[in-house]
Amino acid sequence: MIQIETSLLIRLIIAHLLADFVFQSDSWVSLRFEKGWHSRHLYIHGAVAGALAYVLSGLWDVVWIPATVAATHILIDGINARYEDNIQTFLADQLGHFAVIFIVWLSIINPGLEDIIALKQTLLTGTRVWVIIAAYLVIIWPSSVLISKITERWRKDLGEKEGAESDNSLEKAGRWIGWLERFLILTFVLLQQYAAIGFLVAAKSILRFSESRRIGEYILIGTLFSFAIAVIVGLMANLFLP
């Protein structure tokens, strides 16, 4: 397994992350769950996913890449839209997309048995930049969606008890704070500056203090999930960095 082959896998993953979490708005997702197969945004999103996979792969003569990625993306998202938009459907959706990416990658490189055995030793060698890019994309966009769905029931309860105005304020402020804290934590983990994470935790504990126990508990749950995801992604990324 040579460097260019493992780099291709990471670039295909990055193409998916960009398509699902950067170039797809929340309104597109809502319309997809509302209209299902009749939503034009479902097909536009699939075309964007296919185009990004084609561009980032750099394999201009392999024209089946965009067609395959676009078609399977539309199929998976269309089936997913038949169910409720929750954490289970989100994870199932992402699992399906990553399975397609892996199959497409295997079809392109057509690895032999010796390549599969040597994958552990050669995986991501010399692809430091792609690993870091993928890690930051994961902790910013997919993590936000994951944390939002995990904490959804508490957020709804908070809105009912504290009022809709406070719930909206938390959603807007919490998203940006979550992005920044995960960005910083991932950076500290990649640099192996673990002591700095402790200062960040202490600083947020002081700044996010609330007189409301409900709000405080909601913030604590979201914070712990956010920190845990950033640390885990950082540690996994370090395994693939030289």
* 159 & 68 share domain: no
CA distance 227 to 41: 33
**pLDDT score at 167:** 46
**pLDDT score at 85:** 87
* 23 & 120 share domain: yes
* 113 & 67 share domain: yes
**pLDDT score at 115:** 54
Residue 130 lies in a domain: no
Range of the domain at 195: 140-239
* 7 & 80 share domain: yes
* 118 & 206 share domain: no
- Report how many domains make up the chain: 2
242 residues of the chain, pLDDT tens digit each: 567 788 899 999 999 999 999 999 889 999 999 999 999 999 999 999 999 999 999 898 999 999 999 999 999 999 999 998 888 899 999 999 999 999 999 898 886 656 555 555 554 455 777 888 899 999 988 888 888 888 888 877 776 665 544 444 555 667 778 888 899 999 999 988 888 888 777 776 665 555 566 777 777 788 888 889 999 999 999 988 86
